[in-house]
Structure 1
Amino acid sequence: MADRRPWPALWIGAALGALVPLTAWLLEAALRGAALTPARVWELHRFNPAAWLLDAAPLAAGLVAYRLAREAGRRRQAEAALREAEQGLRQSAEQRRLLAQEADRLLQLNTSITGAMSEGLVLEDPDGRMTLVNPALLRLLDYTAEEVIGQHWSVIVAPDSRALVEELSALRPGGVASTYEARLLAKDGYEVPVLVSAAPLTRDGHYAGAVAILVNIADRLRQEASLQRVNDQLTRSLSELQQRNQEISQLNELSGTLQACLNVEEAQAAIARLLPRLFPGTAGAVYVNDTARGRADLAAAWEDETAFANSLGPDDCWGLRRGRLCLTAPGQADPVCRHLVAPAARAAVCAPLLTQSEAMGLLVLQQAETGLTFTEAGLRLAQAAADSLALALANLHLRETLRQQSIRDPLTGMFNRRYMEESLERELRRAARRGYPVGVIMLDIDHFKQFNDSFGHGAGDRLLQTVGEFLRVHIRAGDVACRYGGEEFLLLLPEASPQVTRQRAEHLREEIHHLRPEYRGQRLGPVTVSAGVAAYPVHGQTAEAVVRAADDALYAAKRLGRDRVSAAQPESVD
């Protein structure tokens, strides 16, 4: 309330107090009929103390009234101030009560929130000391609140993460928030990976500490690691699948190429070209069995040809002995193949080429460097390649067998009449293009029927075999010897004139005299032959004409007494 002083009332009271005696004097003077002048007033009061007292009484009363009024005003002011103070105190107490209730509510809410959080929560002061740690983080690290409150944050951070956390914490007073991964240190020393989201706190514009949310990412890291393992496995599987597809493609190419080969020579060339691509960086060789010699000959080699022998026997390789793939590695207890070069230093694989338990050959692979070995996938590939090679060689062998059966005489091993006719037609076409002669010799064993009747059909077969083998050995490389039929043989001599053809016939006839075949311990002989010779184009322009001319000359030799050579006459030329 404002301080209102009673000055107006005071002066009004004093004036009224002085006015009362003055009025009385004025009335008295009027009744007397005397004028009231200052001198009169002075005269009335000069020797009258009572008048002075009477005149001063109202003034004193006014003064007392003034003092009483002022005291009453002060009392009223004090009462008003007291009432205001009491009201303010009541309001302050209510506000404090409300503030305390709000503070309790907020504290309970904060406790509920932090307690219900699944993530960790940390409050730090400006010095990095922890002032609040929620239950989730305490459970995660197996600490109690008393053990960490007031401690520096480094207590719960793993050593490997402290440098990172310290570096980022140094930026916090500048208002920099950050999110990063770190590892916390549990009470038992176990490290827990977490994702930290930290932000600075300010109060009145000044740095007041930091708040950090910490999320346990162990499960996420495990899932990521699991996904990474799965991804790595898928990548490896994809790479292996691509490798297998490439190997299958190369195996198919190898198999298709080998199936298209007409003979072993073509197959050897294909093997030398394709297998190095199938086994890059690995030395290798393929051996093909020579049944007649009982050995396997080197057919193809790559990378390091000096590492492989030119041939090997069935006892030189444990793979051939056992009939299965054999791995030789440094330091192993299994026996080592004798045909391997430096077997103790380099790993090697010997894979027999088997078809229905018959060995067609051998595939040998050897690491180019010491210390390397073959993986399971490499061994499977070696076995697959060996199977393809075995099948291809078996098909070639079968094809060659069927071809030989179709062009060879089964008794003597010589070419048959069908092959002779095809060869003669081919040679005559070539001779016509190049302008050279082709000689033909028709041979017949003399008295073969009588010989057969005397010694038996077995002895006759033996005689045919002996003569056939003699003719195969005693002809030139480009000549063709055939069994024409029965005891008759036909020799095809490219680029041989009639004179040369006759000379060759005479030489053969004379050499056959020295044959002494045996059958069941009995010597058969002597053996003589008759021969008729003819030549293209002198005695004919076609194969049929030339053969007929030679056959006519043969019968002429027989008519002249056998054991002789007769040349076709000019009149037998077509």
Structure 2
Amino acid sequence: MKLSFSISGLLILIKVLLIVMAAEASVMFVLMISPVEFSPFVELMVDAALLGIISSPFLFWLVIKPFKTAAIAEAEKFRNLLDSAPDGILGVAPDGKINFANGQALMMFGYSQQELVNQLVESLIPERFAKQHPRERGQYFLSPSTRSMGAGRELFGQRKDGTEFPVGISLSHLKTVQGSIALAIVRDITSQTLVRNEIVTANRKLKEQMEELQRRTLELDHLNEMGEMLQACMNIDEACEITKQYGKQLFPSVAGAVFLISPSRDVVEPMASWGNFSSPLTVFSPDACWALRRGRIHTRTEIGCSTNCHHVDPTCSRSYLCIPLLAQGDALGVLHLLKEARDGEPDAVPWTDSKRQLAVAVADDIGLAFANLRLREALRNQSICDSLTGLYNRRFVEEWLHREIPRATRNKYPIAAIMFDLDHFKRFNDTFGHEGGDLVLREFGSFLLKQIREGDIACRFGGEEFAVLMPGTALDVAVQRTEVMRKGTEDLVVRLGGQTLGKITLSAGVACFPEHGTSAEQLFKAADDALYRAKGEGRNRVIVAEPRRDMHVTQ
């Protein structure tokens, strides 16, 4: 009787016969539930074996036994293939239970085969992610698809000992005789994550270094510009304005001030400032600043500390720097920098090394520029001032008058020139020596400075002769003011060693531009001639110069 069977029917019958006939029943059970796909040749052998079994039991050893051996070998080959995979492989059922795991997965998560199989896959997921995983797993089985590794959010696995590690997971869906399975390929990407994090960190540091380099380059440009501008300044006031301008650019969000020690070296005075200070800047003693005491940079340590500078508001908690302005070892002043308060930032934020270095460089430039300006000013004062009285000398007055006369001509205003001579000055030298004569000259110089207005020029013309220039002063006003000075001189009392040196009187000659001269030489000659007339007429008087004979006044 000829029978025909479908392949599926044959497989069912073979499973029943193998269970009954095979000695290794447990092995064959595992083999048969494995989704092994048979070749057409094997199917023909199964048909032949089935017919042989039906017709003769002796054919078992000829067909079934070799088939069993081949199937076991093929299953073992598949198992070895899974175990040799470099990644972990898990089979997960729709209910979340793990059906199988290869050796790499067991080693990766720290479990044995017996511990892991039939456990929920959520046991391999950190707790913070495990709660939502069942819902996501259910959604996947409702609409299964292949998902490549690296897609989606960052994933983490959890080992048996509770430690976490980053993983990459790819998913694929398989249908077996036992139902759907999600095949998960799991890769430990700890090393890749470390490398990636190192690259991200390196990129961030590189970016920060580039930004720092750009900032330092800009600071260097500003510093060079400031140095050039300071060297081009003609006086301290110009230098202070330049320092203020570039201080804002070099130290944003920082209040700054430049203090200079007075010529008497007993006080330190604020000369320029920028930014917001908690209290007005005031004059202080050099001993009040630790930077001036030590000759080096000084910074706030803590509120109320004895090493904080006494010129800083004691209630201010913001960080500050004091940098001495030095030139050839001599302290000229101090650069004071105070961090401005910023939201969310603690008050005592330390100064970075780069900012401290920049502050020192700025202070060096300022100190050098101010030293040069003071030296230049001292040399100029020596060239234009009388060292004994502190008044301008003849050279300065003549230069000033040469510049002022053209301006007065354009703007049509007068210039009064007064020449003074101390009467019988030789008597002071003969009686009290040069010390007494010098004292009289100094006292009279101080007296002149108190009598003139701002804009007037007083000078020692030579010996006991003095001169005063009064721009914008008419002849009659000049005569009145000269008479006041003459009378005031009579009231001068000069003492040397407790001894009064005697009464001081003066003779004066007054001339005025343009009535008595249209040049410096003409004007001084007219005033000098009037002076000699005053001395010739008995001294202690004021004489007005005679008008020039060639003078033509245009009404």
TM-score range, shorter chain: 0.7 to 0.9
User: Which of 194, 210, 213 in structure 2 is aligned with 1:222?
Assistant: 194
1:358 pairs with 2:335: no
1:474 pairs with 2:446: no
Structure 1 gap segments, 5+ residues each: 3-80
1:189 pairs with 2:184: no
Q: 2-side partners of 1:301 and 1:372: how far apart? A: 21
Q: Shift in Å at residue 462 of structure 1? A: 2.9
Q: Which residue of 2 aligns with 1:495?
A: 472
Q: 2-side partners of 1:350 and 1:162: how far apart? A: 58
**What is the SS of the residue equivalent to 1:176?**
coil
Q: Which residue of 1 aligns with 2:183?
A: 211
Q: 2-side partners of 1:254 and 1:144: how far apart? A: 74
Contact 2:96–2:134 (Cα < 8 Å) also in 1: no
1:25-424 to 2 correspondence within 5 Å? 85=52, 96=64, 99-163=67-131, 165-170=133-138, 171-172=140-141, 174-178=143-147, 179=149, 181-203=154-176, 207-292=179-264, 294-304=266-276, 307-328=279-300, 331=303, 333-341=305-313, 343=315, 345-355=317-327, 356-365=329-338, 367-368=340-341, 371-377=346-352, 378-424=355-401
Q: 2-side partners of 1:250 and 1:375: how far apart? A: 23
Distance 1:127 1:172, change over 3 A: same
**What is the SS of the residue equivalent to 2:286?**
coil
Q: 1-side partners of 2:190 and 2:502: how far apart? A: 101
Q: Shift in Å at residue 415 of structure 1? A: 0.9
User: Which of 476, 488, 496 in structure 2 is aligned with 1:511?
Assistant: 488
TM-score, normalised to structure 2's length?
0.77
Contact 2:517–2:548 (Cα < 8 Å) also in 1: no
Task: Name the one with the larger helix percent.
Answer: 1
Q: Shift in Å at residue 257 of structure 1? A: 4.2
Distance 1:331 1:508, change over 3 A: closer
Amino acid paired to 1:360: G
Amino acid paired to 1:497: A
Q: Shift in Å at residue 230 of structure 1? A: 2.0
Q: Shift in Å at residue 366 of structure 1? A: 5.0
Distance 1:332 1:559, change over 3 A: closer
Q: Shift in Å at residue 288 of structure 1? A: 3.0
Q: Which has the larger radius of gyration?
A: 1
Distance 1:136 1:497, change over 3 A: same
Q: Which residue of 1 aligns with 2:37?
A: none
Amino acid paired to 1:211: L
Contact 1:540–1:573 (Cα < 8 Å) also in 2: no
Q: 1-side partners of 2:303 and 2:412: how far apart? A: 68
Q: Shift in Å at residue 331 of structure 1? A: 4.4
State how many pairs are aligned.
493
Q: 2-side partners of 1:86 and 1:430: how far apart? A: 138
Q: Shift in Å at residue 307 of structure 1? A: 1.0
Amino acid paired to 2:87: E
Q: 1-side partners of 2:135 and 2:434: how far apart? A: 110
Q: 1-side partners of 2:94 and 2:63: how far apart? A: 31
**What is the SS of the residue equivalent to 2:453?**
coil
Q: Shift in Å at residue 245 of structure 1? A: 3.5
Distance 1:373 1:248, change over 3 A: farther
Q: 1-side partners of 2:529 and 2:311: how far apart? A: 59
Q: 2-side partners of 1:292 and 1:213: how far apart? A: 86
Q: Which moved more, 1:140-149 or 1:237-246?
A: 237-246
**What is the SS of the residue equivalent to 2:392?**
coil
Amino acid paired to 1:467: F
Structure 2 gap segments, 5+ residues each: 3-47
User: Which of 515, 523, 526 in structure 2 is aligned with 1:546?
Assistant: 523
Distance 1:528 1:563, change over 3 A: same
Contact 1:360–1:393 (Cα < 8 Å) also in 2: no
Amino acid paired to 2:312: L
TM-score, normalised to structure 1's length?
0.75
Distance 1:537 1:131, change over 3 A: same
Q: Shift in Å at residue 480 of structure 1? A: 0.5
Amino acid paired to 2:212: E
